[in-house]
């Protein structure tokens, strides 16, 4: 019985990892402004297969994941960067499915002018309900 419980925990852990990798593929694709069709074509799979990867329904091979990382210009480590951390309740995780949020984060990451960053922070801070 103990061996069965251990096997179930391992299987659950693997499913969580597969699901997280799929979410990251989706987020990286959306933040790049790339269609599902274009990414699927670029990595040699059907749109249906890519959807299964993004939903965590199918596992992505290491080779295919490396190709995805190259096409999305995100680095292979991105997909494994937070394994083992409980990120399920973080703000980014909660907002992660929003296309607009991902694009906003991408644009904000390109800001380098400190005065613009301070002004933007002040604007957002003034919009928050206190």
Q: Domain count of the chain?
A: 1
Name the stretches of the chain with pLDDT < 70.
1, 83-99, 101-103, 105-107, 109-110, 129-130
The whole model's pTM is what? 0.65
In sequence order, what E strands does 2-83 have?
none
Residue 43: helix, strand or coil by DSSP?
helix
Residue 10: helix, strand or coil by DSSP?
helix
Neighbours of 123 (CB within 10 A): 9
Say which CATH number the domain at 18 has: 1.10.260.40
The structure tokens listed for 101 are 């949020």
Given this model, what pLDDT does residue 32 score? 84
- Parent domain of 89: 2-127
């Amino acid at each position: 019985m103990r061996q069965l419980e251990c096997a179930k925990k391992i299987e659950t852990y693997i499913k969580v990892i597969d699901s997280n990798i799929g979410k990251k593929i989706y987020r990286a694709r959306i933040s790049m402004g790339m269609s599902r069709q274009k990414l699927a074509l670029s990595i040699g799979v059907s749109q249906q297969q890519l959807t299964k990867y993004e939903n965590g329904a199918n596992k992505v091979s290491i080779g295919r994941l490396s190709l995805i990382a190259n096409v999305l210009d995100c680095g292979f480590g991105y997909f494994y960067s937070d394994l083992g951390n409980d990120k399920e309740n973080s703000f980014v995780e909660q907002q992660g499915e929003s296309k607009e949020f991902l694009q906003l984060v991408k644009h904000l990451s390109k800001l380098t002018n400190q005065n613009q960053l301070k002004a933007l922070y002040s604007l957002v801070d003034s919009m928050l309900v206190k």
